[in-house]
Amino acid sequence: MSLSTPIFLKEREEDNSKFVEIQQSQTTCIAAEDPLQNLCLASQEVLKKAQQNGRSKCLKCGGSRMFYCYTCYVPVENVPVEQIPHVKLPLKIDIIKHPNETDGKSTAVHAKLLAPEFVNIYTYPCIPEYEEKDHEVALVFPGPKSVSVKDISFHLQKKSQNSVRGKNDDLDKPSIKRKKTEEQNLNDSKCKDTTLKKIVFIDSTWNQTNKIFTDERLQGLLQVELKTRKTCFWRHQKGKPDTFLSTIEAIYYFLVDYHTDILKEKYKGQYDNLLFFYSFMHQLIKNAKCPGDKETRKLTD
């Protein structure tokens, strides 16, 4: 009588072993390449149901949309507003959108949907007036003059002091009057709050950003550059590195850095729900493209 393991058991063990290898490989890959996996998100069940039911009507304009109306900045009929998260932000956000940016492809609307009272979207050439408030507003944009998030407060204070010195450079005034003006400006500088209150983002393809960035209305703003991070965006721009983020990613990562570097508080997922729609859509597209899915299903059937 043979004591060897039956052939069908060997095949089953090999299948199980192969399945474990696939699962481990996928887990390792996810941990290394998908930062969206460990977010603290509200339940996305409402999005799953909406995705199964298909497009729905916008209650404002009547347009047929999936999940939300990118024109009116509201969820559609089959995504009740009370079932999507509401995110509280530590400062205001202005988004300047290029007129040629396709509304349906822009992720900027996610921020407006999830933090409506903190976010405003403007279509260029419409830009708010920042000149009198440039000591409390900054623009997220990379470049040789950009500073890191942790250095924002220092540079805003410096900017305020330079502004005071500029006012004191009026040599036509008599010395006594000029001295009083300098003292007044110095007091104004000390009283002026240089805490960052608003952050500005440009929403466009990278090839279109120059037109907005070089607008004179933005030239006086402090430029801030984010730490290098890889995008998860499924509409990656050809010829651009994977460190070029989508608008909602840039907003999210800025707030995470602001929370730890400026507020000096431990980050516990306070802004993760800004990626509520983004992470769901990313997962849908990832599942559709995943080459290992068929093999995994075959082994588990």
Q: What CATH number labels 84-159+192-286?
A: 3.40.1280
Q: Which helix (H) or strand (E) element contains residue 72?
A: none
Q: With bands split at pLDDT 50, 70 and 90, how would you rate the model's confidence at 35?
A: confident
The region of weakest confidence among 48-57, 85-94, 99-108 is: 99-108
120 bridge partner residues = 94
Nearest Cα to 197, choosing from 153, 161, 166, 158? Answer: 153
The domains of the chain are located at 84-159+192-286
In contact, 74 and 113? CB cutoff 8 Å: yes
Residue 113 has pLDDT above 70, yes or no: yes
Report pLDDT digits (tens) over 276-296. 999 999 999 888 876 554 433
The region of weakest confidence among 179-188, 199-208, 283-292 is: 179-188
Does residue 125 have a cis peptide bond before it, meaning omega lies within 30 degrees of 0?
Answer: yes
Average per-residue pLDDT for the chain: 81
Q: What is the per-residue pLDDT for 39?
A: 95
Report pLDDT digits (tens) over 50-66. 999 999 999 999 999 99
10 Å Cβ neighbour count for 18?
A: 13
Report pLDDT digits (tens) over 222-234. 999 998 888 887 6
Q: With bands split at pLDDT 50, 70 and 90, how would you rate the model's confidence at 124?
A: very high
The DSSP secondary-structure symbol of 236 reads: P
Question: pTM, whole model, 2 decimals?
Answer: 0.77
Please report how the helices 175-191 and 152-167 are oriented relative to each other, as an axis angle in degrees rounded to 10.
160
Q: Which helix (H) or strand (E) element contains residue 133?
A: none
Among 158-167, 187-196, 226-235, 245-254, name the most confident range.
Answer: 245-254
Dump strand ranges (E) for the chain: 56-57, 64-65, 68-69, 74-75, 92-97, 119-123, 137-140, 198-203, 222-224
